[in-house]
Copies of this chain bind each other. A is one copy, B any other.
């Protein structure tokens, strides 16, 4: 049995090495790669993805797992070997549903699509991309262009193909209740569209009166954030904060990109990226805090799980609970800034020397319905997510056509957030997800994460009431320790549902999150938001 386990580990390690190599190539593509490298990089990523998929679906791996299953079943549920065999078996079953060619097509398509998006979004005018697209995207050549205006005809073929590939992925898992379910299952294992729809409906019912009450108040002046803040000072300040959080720079680093992300090449190399706006202090700083939460989760996984499928955060929702917890529940909290604001003032004396803490604290927590998800405050943020979630479902159902997507997007933004979308750039093109992945399962995790972040922090506080005092002293060891002990170290040993029950002491529920928002924003806006 030990020999078979070793063979399993060797096979899983090889798969992990290929996936990690692809992660390095993807990181480079998003940070440093010159434009001329794009076509070959898409091909290289497709090759790595195809080889990883071939090895993930090798019938020999299936036979090995079948032989090991009886051994796993006699072990305690939490035993690392049992968890390894269980999770590897689950992945094997899932991966064998997807044809290797489809996986390879998706990899090549998403790399090319991502690159096109990075070029096209800043320009807001995709017609100029056409010669490039026609030259490099072999897949697109086979498709006729849609009868769209010249202003967005460049990216539309990519989206068409993304939707087609997404549907083909869903159809590899027949028997679904909703075509989004298999795609949601990839990112939030065990979740379904119907469950999320219900959860989101209840959350929306709780959020709407909060937002309505806040919007009725005079808007907060956040002009103190919109001064000139030099890039390097911003980077240094953010990095010293996340070092205090417990992000380990010996096992990671931060670089600049278009659309920030965290990525892992090994448990000893978990990197984050950010972007800096020299005229908006919040943009880069809170992006850094956000990505550090994702990265600390991955850095905190039990090192013995390295190079196995256990060495991954368990779901998009739980992952996002960590980024949102560190970014918002800690990084936008009053006790946090009571400690760090003097340091920020020292870093930017001309900009903030005469700005009182209260003004700054209110500025970074200003609630204002807006256009851009990643710039949104933590209350209206969820409305951005719900719009995308609903549109994804409609696209997959076929009740919404892609050519009508921009109009549908704009209509929902007018209706839900009361804002007018001026262009594609700050509208339907703002997020990388549909241009660097699939349509379906891409967004629900953000709001699941918000919900969970409040549950987890409440559980940590219940176990360690001193946490709030420590945050006020700029210390995070107890909180980080609780998260590592109860969430991070487990990697994918438990299912998301199991992990949430163990860490939060019960199933996912929206009340702690709504209570958190009501308490915080009652104080900030001086109103009574208690329901």
Contact = CB atoms under 8 A, between A and B. Distances in A.
Most chain B beta carbons < 10 A, residue from A37, A41, A253, A255: A37
Interface string A302-341: 0000110000000000000000000000000000000000
Interface stretch (A43-51, A274-282, A517-525): A43-51
Given A13-B43, A43-B13, A44-B20, A33 B307 contact: no
A386 interface: no
Copies in the complex: 2
Interface stretch (A169-177, A265-273, A479-487): A265-273
Contacts of A24: 21, 24-25, 28, 44
A65 interface: no
B251 A40 contact: no
A41 B269 contact: yes
Given A21-B25, A24-B25, A43 B307 contact: yes
A185 to B, nearest CB: 28
A40 B20 contact: yes
Interface string A48-73: 10010000000000000000000000
Interface in A228-258: 248-253, 255
Most chain B beta carbons < 10 A, residue from A36, A248, A252, A307: A36
A32 interface: yes
Contacts of A21: 21-22, 24-25, 44, 47-48
Most chain B beta carbons < 10 A, residue from A13, A40, A266, A267: A40
A39 interface: yes
A264 to B, nearest CB: 10
Contacts of A32: 253, 255
Contacts of A35: 250-251
19 contacts: A13-B43, A14-B51, A17-B47, A18-B47, A20-B44, A21-B22, A21-B25, A21-B47, A24-B25, A33-B269, A34-B249, A35-B250, A36-B266, A37-B251, A37-B265, A37-B268, A37-B269, A38-B268, A40-B268
